[in-house]
Structure 1
Amino acid sequence: MLSILLHATALAAALAGTLALALRPRWAHAGAIGGSVAMSAAMIDGVVSGSGSTIWWAAVQVVLALVLAVIVRRGAAAGAGRPAGGSRGPACPLGVHVALGLIVMAALMSVMTFPGPGASDPGAHGHMSGGVLSVAVGALVVGYVATTMRHLRAMAHPLHRVHAVAMVVSVVTMLAAVVAV
């Protein structure tokens, strides 16, 4: 029961964060919106359908994070008035937040395995590599939360801040779900 409640809370927070970001769509934030949608879709697939495609979703999220990191880097270079690859200005805090969020969510999904067809408990997870991987993912979550909180004031729009806080709630709740089971 606790696992279901934690997963539902994490999913609701992720959907709220995605909605907050989508309420103010801008071409410059297309990568961030896409990353947020991918995280939410991965959670819906894992929580609702339990299809067992967690590794596929983790791989998709890592690829999206790398693409978003390149976009953020090029945007910082363009914002500084320099060609991409040269000295850069500050990176977009929203892009950094979403790219890190994709990596953290991929890591969280990687420590969870969903049961296959015929399993008795569709919400069950098993943990890989015992406590060491869980501690590493926990440290990753702490770093993500600290980085997001540090960048919160620099985010350009209040809806970006709502998105960031909702995603932090989602990630922390997912970590609690991993630890609780």
Structure 2
Amino acid sequence: MSGPEKQFDTDKVISLAMGLFDRNGYEKTSISDLLAVMKIHRSSFYATFGSKRGLFIRALSEYSVHILESIRAALLDASDDYIANIQNWLDVLLGALHSGRAVELGANAFLDIADRDTEVQKLANEFFLGLENIVDRALELSGRDIQIGRLDREHLASLIALQVQSILLLYKSGVPLSMIDNSITLIKALLDTPLSTRRA
């Protein structure tokens, strides 16, 4: 009779699984692939996560929290120049795309099945809403009275979050990186635009 299976660090194996999902996409990641990367027994896998989809949802949920925490630190804690913080984070995002490190962004995992899985779509929506809230807070802390035409602070935060989502979709579709460069440049230009005083 074999002894009890070795215990494992759940957070660690979820992180390993997330990396595999993001490199290969959900559909192309098999249970065997996951077991090989996570280094756990099949019985432990099913007892802990229930299924590949169960693991995917859990990994995606935890990973999105981790990514939002890192974005929050970059935009709200890096310096007191919150506009520069946003612009610097956009540069980091662009650098990750250019260097092929998009795996760090969770882009493939989020977008792979979001269009046909309502639970994944909900997680993706929550992620981008969280991003919008962080950007809005950074804009608020900047102390600038933001009014570009009819665009106020909340509108600008929404626009930036939507633009980031579009950038990830463009990246996944394989468009030339020059198009993504232009999108980032547009956002940064908006942030650099002299902002008029809000009318009463």
TM-score (norm 1): 0.35
Taking CA–CA contacts closer than 8 Å with sequence separation of 6 or more, which of the two structures ends up with the larger relative contact order?
A: 1
Larger Rg: 2
Q: What is the TM-score of this pair, normalised by structure 2?
A: 0.32
